[in-house]
Chains A and B, each alone.
Chain A
Amino acid sequence: MKGFLQAALLACLVAVTGCATGAKPLPLNGDVFHDAPLAIEQGPPRDKLLWQYRLALAEMRRGQFDAAKPVLDDALLTLGGLYGKDSEARKSRRLFQQEAKKTFIGEPYERAMANYYRGILYWRDGEIDNARACFRNAEFEDSDAEAGEYKCDYTLFDYLDGFATSKLGGDGSDAFKRAEASARGAKPPAYDKSVNTLLFLDFGPGPVKFGAGKYNEELRFREAISPVQSVQVKLDNEIVNIKSADDLNFQATTRGGRVMDHVLANKAVFKSATSTLGDAAIISGAILATDHEHEQAGFALLAAGLLTKLVSAATTPQADTRCWEALPQFLALGQFKLKPGQHTATVNFLNAEGKTDPKFAKQITFTVPEGRDAVIYVSDQSTTPQTQ
Chain B
Amino acid sequence: MVAGIAMLAGCASSGVKNPSGVPVTHMNADEQGFVTGTGVESQDLVAVTDKMARSILAIPQIASASTPPKIVLDPVVNNTRFPINKDIFNTRIRTELNKKSLGKVTFLARERMAALDKERDLKRTGEVTSTTDPKAQEFLGADYFLTGELQGLSTRTKAGTSDYILYACQLIDVRTSAIVWEDSAEIKKQGLEDAAYR
Contacts and interface: CB of A to CB of B under 8 A. Distances in A.
B198 A144 contact: yes
Interface of B: 2, 5-7, 9-10, 12-15, 17, 35-39, 77-84, 86, 154, 156, 160-161, 191-198
Contacts of B38: 80, 83
A21 B2 CA distance: 20
Nearest to A263: B195
Contact of A89 (B12, B37, B161, B196): B196
A26 interface: no
B196 A263 contact: yes
A122 B81 CA distance: 13
Nearest to A134: B83
Nearest to A144: B156
A130 B191 contact: no
A165 B151 CA distance: 12
Interface core residue of A23, A80, A136, A140 (most chain B CB under 10 Å): A80
A140 B153 CA distance: 11
Interface string A254-276: 00001110010000000000000
A133 interface: yes
A101 to B, nearest CB: 7
In this complex, the interface size class of chain A, counting residues with CB under 8 Å from chain B, is 35 or more
A18 B196 contact: no
A99 interface: yes
Nearest to A143: B156
A13 interface: yes
B82 A137 contact: yes
Contacts of A136: 80-81, 154
A21 B14 contact: yes
Interface string A115-142: 0001000100001011011101100100
A163 to B, nearest CB: 14
B6 A13 contact: yes
Interface string A74-114: 00100011111111111111000001011001000000000
A82 B37 CA distance: 7
A117 to B, nearest CB: 12
A88 B14 CA distance: 13
A29 interface: no
Given A99-B196, A144-B198, A260-B198, A81 B37 contact: yes
Given A17-B13, A21-B13, A101-B15, A10 B194 contact: no
